[in-house]
């Protein structure tokens, strides 16, 4: 899958410019056109509230143009007076990938889109930006392996990135009794990737139940991975998403770029 267009929600806050510079870095690396979306929920439709929303959109649009104005393809801009999660899911039809900040349960849903909802509902790969500004240069990639539909889809979606990487480490975290089966799976995955001209190696790591996310993050830190690619997992509960442990850990960590695919 090639990424020719990306969608990003532009929030007019203190971290806006840094996120936009990282988004521009992603766009250059992917050769993608950028669609910026201003989205904000109001608590009513009074003229004052709508006027405040439009002022916020104007400030966000101005920063968007300033930070991405030198891209080869002129960035496009859209606006929606709606909860950001809903607005992004609606406009995801125009993109191949979503580039997003990370949120937690403390984040204001009227201003910020829920990371889990984007991963689980958009039908697109979601690239999460790190908390600290960093250029997107995925030369070393950690691919988190689990023999599921989500991970197999993540490999297919991320193949252009995997092919251009200098090194890809495919890591599986499993119980001691599973190690033989997992090593066979990793051998198949490595063969598949090598046939696709990916410079791949594998690692099977034994871990206690519930520790997979933390182990993956430690390995990524030791390996100095620029990007983690993984399947995204969760289930719907009372109109909200209860994320799987690894997915939750990867979203929360924030030290590097993470590409999640559901």
The CATH class, in words, for 5-128 is alpha beta
Ramachandran angles phi, psi of 150, nearest 5°: -60, -45
pLDDT tens for residues 76-121?
Answer: 999 999 999 999 999 999 999 999 999 887 899 999 999 999 999 9
The CATH class, in words, for 140-261 is alpha beta
Pair 215, 142: CB distance under 8 Å: no
Structure tokens at 247: 């997915």
pLDDT tens for residues 151-172?
Answer: 999 999 999 999 999 999 999 9
List 206's β-bridge partners, or say none: 174
List the domain boundaries for the chain.
5-128, 140-261
Using the predicted structure, report yes or no on whether residue 238 has a pLDDT greater than 60.
no
Please tell me if the domain spanning 5-128 has the same topology as the one spanning 140-261: yes
Length of the chain, in residues = 262
pLDDT tens for residues 52-70?
Answer: 999 999 999 999 999 998 8
């Amino acid at each position: 899958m090639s990424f020719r267009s990306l969608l990003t929600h532009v929030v007019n806050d203190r971290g806006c410019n840094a996120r936009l510079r990282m988004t521009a870095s992603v766009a250059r690396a992917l050769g993608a056109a950028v669609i910026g979306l201003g989205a904000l929920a109001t608590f009513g439709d009074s003229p004052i509230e709508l006027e405040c929303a439009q002022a916020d959109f104007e400030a966000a649009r101005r920063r968007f143009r300033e930070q991405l104005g030198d891209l080869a393809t002129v960035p496009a801009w859209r606006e929606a007076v709606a909860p950001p999660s809903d607005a992004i899911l609606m406009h995801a039809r125009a993109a191949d990938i979503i580039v997003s900040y990370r949120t937690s349960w403390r984040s204001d849903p009227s201003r910020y889109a829920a990371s889990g909802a984007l991963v689980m509902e958009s039908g697109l790969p979601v690239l999460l930006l790190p908390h600290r500004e960093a250029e997107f240069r995925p030369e070393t990639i950690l691919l988190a392996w689990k023999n599921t539909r989500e991970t197999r889809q993540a490999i297919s979606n991320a193949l252009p990135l995997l092919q251009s990487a200098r090194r890809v480490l495919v890591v599986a975290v499993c119980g001691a009794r599973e190690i033989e089966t997992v090593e066979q799976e990793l051998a198949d995955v490595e063969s598949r990737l090598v046939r696709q001209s990916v410079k791949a190696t594998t690692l099977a790591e034994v871990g206690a139940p519930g520790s997979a996310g933390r182990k993956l993050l430690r390995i990524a830190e030791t390996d100095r991975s620029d990007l983690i690619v993984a399947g995204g997992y969760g289930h719907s509960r009372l109109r909200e998403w209860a994320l799987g442990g690894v997915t939750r850990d990867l979203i929360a960590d924030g030290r590097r770029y993470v590409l999640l695919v559901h």
